[in-house]
A = this chain, B = another copy of it.
Amino acid sequence: MPIPENYAKAIEALQATLSPDSVTTDAGVLTKHSQTFGVSKGLGHTVVVFPKTTEDVVNIVNISRENRMPICAYGGGTSLEGHATFSDTGGISLDVSRMDQILEIHVEDGDLVCQPGIQWVKINEILNEKGIPLFFPLDPGIGATIGGMISTGCSGTNAVKYGTARGEWFINATIVLPSGEVIKTRRRARKCSAGFDTLSLFIGAEGTLGIVTEVTIRLTPLLPTRVAVANFPDVGHASKASIEALNCGVSLQCVELLDKYSMAGLNSYNQTMRQWPEKDSLFFKIQGATQVFIEESARILKEVVERNGGSAFEFAATEKEADDLWLARKTAPMAGLALHPGARAMITDVCVPLSALPQLMTNIRKDLDASGLPAYTLAHAGDGNMHALILYRNEDEEKVVHDLVNQLAQYALELDGTCTGEHGIGVGKKKYLVNELGSSTVELMKQIKQTLDPLNLFSPGKLYPDYAKSSY
């Protein structure tokens, strides 16, 4: 129940409360905060604020509530499902970029305390600079911030080894609730059995239940890694090899599947200093503290690959070679985009049980081919999480893309999977949620939303479907 006629009063109150450089209605800044990769999926914001402390956030939330002006937290701006936009209300964009400090590092405990605006990449750079042999292993898009990573329930290529944001990487968080109350979800011990973990409510809630202002994250030892690549006759064989590799006792950090279209894209793009066999391929990242571990791991993995019809097993024996090989995996998502200058990209993800990945990829490939649009698929094969990059140039093609995205979500649901493995629901995927989770589960989510945010001011229009029972 936003009240737009109050917004001017709210902006005045924000200006009176925060430092002058912390509140802006500059059109360029507003536009930037409403876009993802240059594409806006909703209306713009009315004002952008840059808090520095938890107290600032409390003040902003109180002004938002008193004036019924919606509020939406903004982290790295890397989310892909319109999380940063307002659908029809306008409101306050709360940009956490000035809350980007590490506050404490506890090396022996293997954790650190930080603010929500710091990027995971930056955290790992700082640890590296300080010579601390620990790192934070969740690796969504470059530029993602800790607050956004919590709110999206993120993961990345490292999920095979380390799991996701829904695991135990976030030990505690300080969170400002829609009421203006501040909670700290728990203390700093690694384990805690003192009731349900309130932090888990906010992981994947996409900013609809609270705004994170401080976080204790768990770190893990940084170990030497190496990379191996192999080709397979088809996605089915690659997928079977992936499953066997997960179970063979080698410490695998990543198992990535690039299909033959993506490999062809790499060749056309020609930025990896070599030509690749245009076959469905697995990229493995292996961990090993010593050379003995690494060599034994490579030996076992090669057997697994060959037993599953793989060929051209290539193992990077040095760190430099490993970086070169992995560059192909890192380049793949952008190769498709670069090959079609002027085209726009729809990037989407779904996730299915491991054994269903070949069926999923076969199904959607037929539709992609039939559409005639350039499209590249790759998968975090060790998690059953598939991404598609589909390119389009005009509104007609955009409609086709939306049909393809719908079709992909349907395939995933038919295979007991989810419409999103790591990108979140945002605006675009709300329509799948009841089908995926059932109306009772969605109604429970809405009840919790109603309990915490009865005025529906925190990120309205995101996550909760528009058409189920309750008022959200």
Contact = CB atoms under 8 A, between A and B. Distances in A.
A184 interface: yes
Interface stretch (A242-250, A307-315, A394-402): A242-250
A65 to B, nearest CB: 16
Contact of A221 (B159, B177, B249, B355): B249
A393 interface: no
Contacts of A154: 193
Interface string A313-351: 000000000000000000000000000000000000001
Given A196-B201, A250-B289, A422-B191, A177 B444 contact: yes
A158 B167 CA distance: 16
Given A155-B191, A195-B445, A447-B451, A182 B440 contact: yes
Interface in A418-456: 418-425, 429, 432-433, 436-438, 440-441, 443-445, 447-448, 450-452
Interface in A284-326: 287-290, 292-293, 296, 300
Interface stretch (A105-113, A263-271, A364-372): A105-113
A191 B384 contact: yes
A184 B64 CA distance: 35
A237 to B, nearest CB: 13
Interface stretch (A40-48, A67-75, A114-122, A204-212): A204-212
Given A221-B247, A296-B292, A196 B191 contact: no
Contact of A193 (B108, B204, B251, B300): B204
Contacts of A463: 195
Interface residues of A, number: 101
A203 B421 CA distance: 21
A279 interface: no
A209 B196 contact: yes
B447 A186 contact: no
Taking each of A355, A424, A437, which has the highest tally of chain B beta carbons within 10 Å of its own beta carbon? A437
A89 interface: no
Contact of A168 (B134, B167, B380): B167
A464 to B, nearest CB: 8
Contacts of A355: 106, 108-109
A9 interface: no
A225 to B, nearest CB: 11
26 contacts: A109-B353, A134-B247, A152-B193, A155-B191, A183-B444, A185-B437, A187-B413, A187-B417, A188-B353, A189-B384, A189-B418, A189-B421, A190-B353, A192-B421, A193-B204, A193-B425, A194-B418, A194-B432, A195-B463, A196-B200, A200-B200, A221-B247, A223-B249, A248-B289, A250-B289, A251-B251
Interface of A: 106, 108-111, 133-134, 152-155, 159, 163-164, 166-168, 177, 181-198, 200-206, 209, 221, 223, 240, 243, 246-251, 287-290, 292-293, 296, 300, 351-356, 380, 383-385, 412-413, 416-425, 429, 432-433, 436-438, 440-441, 443-445, 447-448, 450-452, 463
Given A108-B355, A111-B353, A189-B353, 20 more contacts: A164-B168, A166-B192, A166-B197, A181-B440, A181-B444, A183-B438, A183-B441, A187-B437, A191-B351, A191-B380, A194-B419, A195-B206, A195-B463, A196-B204, A200-B203, A223-B249, A249-B288, A249-B290, A292-B296, A451-B451
